[in-house]
Amino acid sequence: MLDRYLRLLGLMRKHWPIAAVTFASVTALTGFRVLVPFLTGEAVNDVVGRAPISSISMVALEVVAVSAASAAFSFGLSYGGQALGQKMIYDLRNMIFTSIQSQSFSFHDKNETGQLMSRATGDVEAVRRFVAFGWGQLLSNVFLVGGVVVSLVFLNLYLASVVAVVFPLILLLSWRFSQTQGPFWRLTRKNYGAMNTVLQQNVAGARIVRSFSAEEGEVSRFAATNQAYRDGIVGSSAVRAIYTPLLSLVISVDLAALYYFGGGPVIAKTISIGDLVAAANLLALLGGPSRFLGQLILIGQNGMAGFDRILEVIDAEAEVKDRPGALPLTGARGDIRFEGVRFGYGKGREVLKGIDLEVPAGQVVAFVGVSGSGKTTMANLVPRFYDVASGSVKIDRKDVRDLTLKSLRASVGLVSQDIFLFSATIRENVCYGKADASKEEVERACRLANADEFIERYPEKYETRVGERGVTLSGGQKQRIAIARTLLMDPRILILDDSLSSVDAGTEYAIGEALKEVIRGRTTIIITQRLATLRLAKRIVVFEAGKVVEQGTHEELLRLNGAYARLYLSQYAPQDVTEEERDPR
């Protein structure tokens, strides 16, 4: 547990000037706050002893001066805490985002988007509140308790001993209270993430929810996560409602004991009335911390629970990363070899089972098979979206694990079925991987992808904004922009993962004709359920249950009358129409 606080202090160290101002303000403020009861006691003694009015006036001026100084240092504490909090969450957000960007695909397979978003928003905000307000106030109250104890000892040992009898009970209750809050807030931060997940999924999948008339079910699901979040906070508040008044009661009892056991010595004149008043005022200073202790512990536990969840992301080790001494892939020819490749997404879920396969440089190969046969997983190993469990994937006889990720992925272009476009212009989306591309390069890539024909119909053409996830475009239009985006990078290896699944037959034929020019000389892997796209391939590789069961041309595989023939008759044959039917021009 201590290491979490040390990590937080480590983040503060970067902004040590502001932290030093905050610490100095806390120290000075504590000194001035415990000084006021001494001045009050002195004033009482002066009044009782009928001291000259000048002496009383001097004490009054001292009280005003101390109060003014306290106000100045209160500003330093407040400003320093807020500035430190904002600077630290700026660092934390950047660290979270950088960590997410560096993670492997397997990390995103295991972590829900809503949970990750809640770490970068709600959890970071919880840490900010703790650093900006809770940390300074907790430090101030700890210093104040210490200051009160030291001042009482300095003032009068007898009065200090009276207070000391009950003081351990105050510390015990405070400690027990802090221990009860931790579990509540760890669960609350988790429930907040779950609620965010439901919200994010429903916003992203709004069309699916509406199309299946599932609104009532989703409302109930959100209400359940919202209720769990609410109940956690209510549970924490119930505990606070018990401990806060109890602490105030203990301090009041201690104050009553101070007056009772201190009254006799005052009457006997062995202790001055001013010392008793000063001791009572010092003890009264603990009333503030006791009243706000619940809130401060709540902020502290909430902040540290959020910090724990943030550290889970920041400290996550990327499964796929550059090896020490990794070399850049330069002048790639594009020869791909799979040697004894085995891979699975988890224990007992082996997807690829010892595959040996070669795709010579410049060859166009199609991967086909039923859903779940392993064809897409096989293609994802080329750019190292995942690493093999055993065996190797090689490009130009170099193990991809010995190459830098940046150079490898710059040489491998991927167009997948699941297209993501940013809420930006068409030009910005096409240029995403090559921001300095010229106008001519962008337009040529769009022509090759057969995207120019619909882009030119927009009034703003390439400056047309496509909306979040390309919502203003059809599925086929989004796929053509995604193809243009990949072609602009001019990759040596091209992977088309069912990338023409959302276009109509005529558009598919037109794009296919354009792709004939694009794929010439490139090593190309085509994963498709469409016959027109399949015809671009010179060789077809058939996957079944994680193994390569057949290879050859379309005609050769049909003659075998095996897995490909069965797949063709069930999925591809209905698409087998003539080119004249596809292109009536």
Q: Are residues 288 and 182 in the same domain?
A: yes
Order the strands of the 493-497 sheet from edge to edge.
Answer: 412-415, 493-497, 523-527, 364-368, 539-544, 547-552
Q: Are residues 278 and 380 in the same domain?
A: no
Tokens of 485: 């985006």
The pLDDT, as a whole number, for residue 138 is 75
Q: Are residues 31 and 176 in the same domain?
A: yes
**Do the domain assignments include residue 493?**
yes
- Of 42-46, 97-101, 220-224, 500-504, minimum mean pLDDT range: 500-504
Q: Are residues 350 and 295 in the same domain?
A: no
Which CATH number goes with the domain that contains 228?
A: 1.20.1560.10
Give residues with Cβ within 8 angstroms of 30, minimum separation 6.
Answer: 140, 143, 144, 146, 147
- Of 313-322, 461-470, 535-544, minimum mean pLDDT range: 461-470
How high does pLDDT run on average in the chain? 81
Q: 47-80 pLDDT, tens per residue? A: 777 667 777 788 778 888 888 888 888 888 888 8
**Do the domain assignments include residue 331?**
no
| Domain range for 258 | 2-314
Q: Quick check: 55 and 46 in contact, CB under 8 A? A: yes
Q: Are residues 264 and 383 in the same domain?
A: no
Q: Are residues 418 and 565 in the same domain?
A: yes
**Is the full-model pTM beyond 0.85?**
no
Q: Quick check: 527 and 496 in contact, CB under 8 A? A: yes
Q: 242-261 pLDDT, tens per residue? A: 777 777 788 888 888 888 88
Q: Are residues 401 and 295 in the same domain?
A: no
At 398, is the pLDDT very low, low, confident or very high (cuts 50, 70, 90)?
very high
Q: 328-358 pLDDT, tens per residue? A: 988 888 899 999 999 988 776 788 999 999 9
**Do the domain assignments include residue 319?**
no
Amino acid at 475: G
Q: 311-331 pLDDT, tens per residue? A: 888 888 888 888 898 999 888
Q: 140-189 pLDDT, tens per residue? A: 777 888 888 888 888 888 888 888 877 777 777 777 776 676 677 677 77
44: pLDDT strictly greater than 60: yes
Report the domain count for the chain: 2
Q: Which helix (H) or strand (E) holds 414?
A: strand 412-415
32: pLDDT strictly greater than 90: no
Q: Torsions phi, psi of 415, nearest 5?
A: -120, 110
Q: Are residues 245 and 394 in the same domain?
A: no
Mean pLDDT of the region 380-392: 90
Which CATH number goes with the domain that contains 508?
A: 3.40.50.300
DSSP 513-580: HHHHHHSTTSEEEEE-S-HHHHTT-SEEEEEETTEEEEEE-HHHHHHHTSHHHHHIIIIIGGG---HH
Radius of gyration of the chain (CA): 35
**Do the domain assignments include residue 329?**
no
**Do the domain assignments include residue 326?**
no
